Amino acid sequence: MNSLLHLSETQRAIVDTAREFCAAEVTPYAAQWDRDAHFDPTLTHKLGELGFLGMMIPEAHDGLGLDTTTYLLALEEISAADASVGVLMSVHNSLPTQMLLKYGSEAQRREFLGPLARGEKLGAFALSEPDAGSDAAAMRAQAVRDGDDWVLNGTKAWISAGGHAGVVLAMVRTDSSDARKGAKGIGAFIVTPDLPGFKVGKKENKMGLRASETVQLVFDNMRVPGDRLLGDPTQGFVYALQSLESGRLGIATQALGIARAAYDHARAYARERQQFGQAIGEFQGVQFKLADMATRINAARSLIHATAAAKDRGEAVGEYASMCKLFATETAMWVTTQAIQVFGGYGYTTDYPVEKLFRDAKVTEIYEGTSEIQRVVIGRAALKG
């Protein structure tokens, strides 16, 4: 359902590639991965071979050098097939990669972007902590300078693919003089799992997105060379929030993919399911549900693509990225709920895919900033503007 978008030849080719990849490598396995909470590490290499892990990385660093719009078109396809693969692709392309591109030194970009683009290394983003979620600046993990190195201690939480990541962009307090210096005393470090003191902690047992592994990362006297610090040691929080603008567009698109998949299943079922002597789609009550689903999905996609285009023109899109995430994720929750209703009792069982979509949709209203935090960002911008 891309009917309103006019795709270029390149974009059409990317969408077709994504669909073929999903039909062969994702859709047949998604339900089993969900049941087993299994993260398939071979996906990283497969997505890397397609260029889907370096979509916005310049060709000089082995990426595809594409724009945000084209990246999001691919992400919608992948997320419609399995939102767990979608979040892997979104976090990798939006957060660590964008932080390195925007704030990394030439040497850091040369060392890390190629392996990320080729899918040799998976990227992760470590901002939250067990006691610092929405209030991310309340983090306690601490970096202390020791000669040329930094020594990091603390626990980061809710890290997507953290146990499989080869490169983690970790935000850690660099100024201990005042814990409420908040945003001002935080650095961003390029952390790799070979560093002594890097430990993978608790793995979360989640309601949805079960094939995406979510873990804690523990830094236990982890010695990080000085050249792994990104940019200014006091600006890591600003870098992270800036990169989250890209991340939130990604999660909005992941939600869009989930909603589209639920709508497609509901539409097909409405055509085939017979009750009272006719297909249930013949009843206006069901038609109205499909109409509202299609309208909200197209509205979400239009907002996302208008925001992506503005971003690619170099415009500031912070509050629009938040609007995309707020609207698309609430759309995904609403559409998946309606899809289950169209399926009736069957929708409530694991025999049909809509209950998984419903479970997967829920987290999109929570991570990379809850719906409430998106409203804070939008509300603050409204009062400023």
Q: How far is the CB of 188 from ligand CAA (least distance, A)?
A: 13
Q: How far is the CB of 187 from ligand CAA (least distance, A)?
A: 14
Write the CB contacts of 21 (distance below 8 Å, at least 6 apart in sequence): 46, 50, 52, 78
State the Cα–Cα distance between residues 248 and 330, nearest whole angstrom: 13
CA angle 139, 316, 47 (to 5 degrees): 70
Q: How far is the CB of 250 from ligand CAA (least distance, A)?
A: 9
Q: How far is the CB of 380 from ligand CAA (least distance, A)?
A: 7
Residue selected from 14, 55, 91, 191 as contacting ligand CAA according to rule CB under 6 A: 91
Residue selected from 39, 52, 71, 158 as contacting ligand CAA according to rule CB under 6 A: 158
Residue selected from 18, 72, 136, 152 as contacting ligand CAA according to rule CB under 6 A: 136
What secondary structure letter does DSSP report for 278?
E
- Identify the sign of the CA torsion 295, 8, 86, 198: negative
Residue selected from 242, 337, 341, 371 as contacting ligand CAA according to rule CB under 6 A: 242
Contact between 377 and ligand CAA (CB under 6 A)?
Answer: yes
| CA 163 centroid distance within chain | 16
Contact between 182 and ligand CAA (CB under 6 A)?
Answer: yes
Q: How far is the CB of 361 from ligand CAA (least distance, A)?
A: 15
Name the residue nearer to ligand CAA (CB basis): 297 or 377: 377
Print the binding letters for residues 309-328 with ligand CAA: x by CB under 6 A, - otherwise. ---------x----------
Write the CB contacts of 360 (distance below 8 Å, at least 6 apart in sequence): 83, 84, 208, 209, 258
Name the residue nearer to ligand CAA (CB basis): 136 or 190: 136
For residue 190, give both structure tokens: 């390029």
Name the residue nearer to ligand CAA (CB basis): 52 or 125: 125
Mapped onto helix, strand or coil, the DSSP state of residue 348 is helix
Name the residue nearer to ligand CAA (CB basis): 150 or 367: 367
Q: How far is the CB of 289 from ligand CAA (least distance, A)?
A: 30
Residue 193, φ and ψ in degrees, nearest 5: -70, -10
Name the residue nearer to ligand CAA (CB basis): 21 or 158: 158
Contact between 58 and ligand CAA (CB under 6 A)?
Answer: no
| Catalytic position from the list 25, 76, 129, 368 | 368
Verify whether residue 25 is a known catalytic residue: no
Q: How far is the CB of 163 from ligand CAA (least distance, A)?
A: 12
Residue selected from 238, 279, 290, 309 as contacting ligand CAA according to rule CB under 6 A: 238
Contact between 134 and ligand CAA (CB under 6 A)?
Answer: yes
Q: Which stretch binds ligand CAA (CB under 6 A): 23-31, 221-229, 235-243, 298-306?
A: 235-243
Residues in region 8-47 near ligand CAA by CB under 6 A: none
Q: Is 200 exposed, middle or buried (0-12, 13-18, 19+ CB in 10 A)?
A: middle
Amino acid at 355: E
For residue 331, give both structure tokens: 């759309």
State the Cα–Cα distance between residues 365 and 328, nearest whole angstrom: 9
Q: Is 345 exposed, middle or buried (0-12, 13-18, 19+ CB in 10 A)?
A: exposed
Give the H/E segment covering residue 380: helix 371-384
Give the H/E segment covering residue 159: strand 149-160
State the Cα–Cα distance between residues 224 and 188, nearest whole angstrom: 12
Q: Which stretch binds ligand CAA (CB under 6 A): 20-28, 35-43, 126-134, 297-305?
A: 126-134
Residue 5, φ and ψ in degrees, nearest 5: -90, 135
What secondary structure letter does DSSP report for 238?
H
Q: How far is the CB of 352 from ligand CAA (least distance, A)?
A: 27
Contact between 137 and ligand CAA (CB under 6 A)?
Answer: yes
Question: What angle do helix axes 318-343 and 236-272 make, rounded to 10 degrees?
Answer: 30
CA angle 179, 375, 169 (to 5 degrees): 50
Contact between 183 and ligand CAA (CB under 6 A)?
Answer: yes
Contact between 373 and ligand CAA (CB under 6 A)?
Answer: yes
> Active-site residue numbers?
368
**Can you give the binding site for ligand CAA, defined by CB under 6 A?**
91, 125, 127-128, 134, 136-137, 158-160, 182-183, 237-238, 241-242, 244-245, 318, 367-369, 373, 376-377
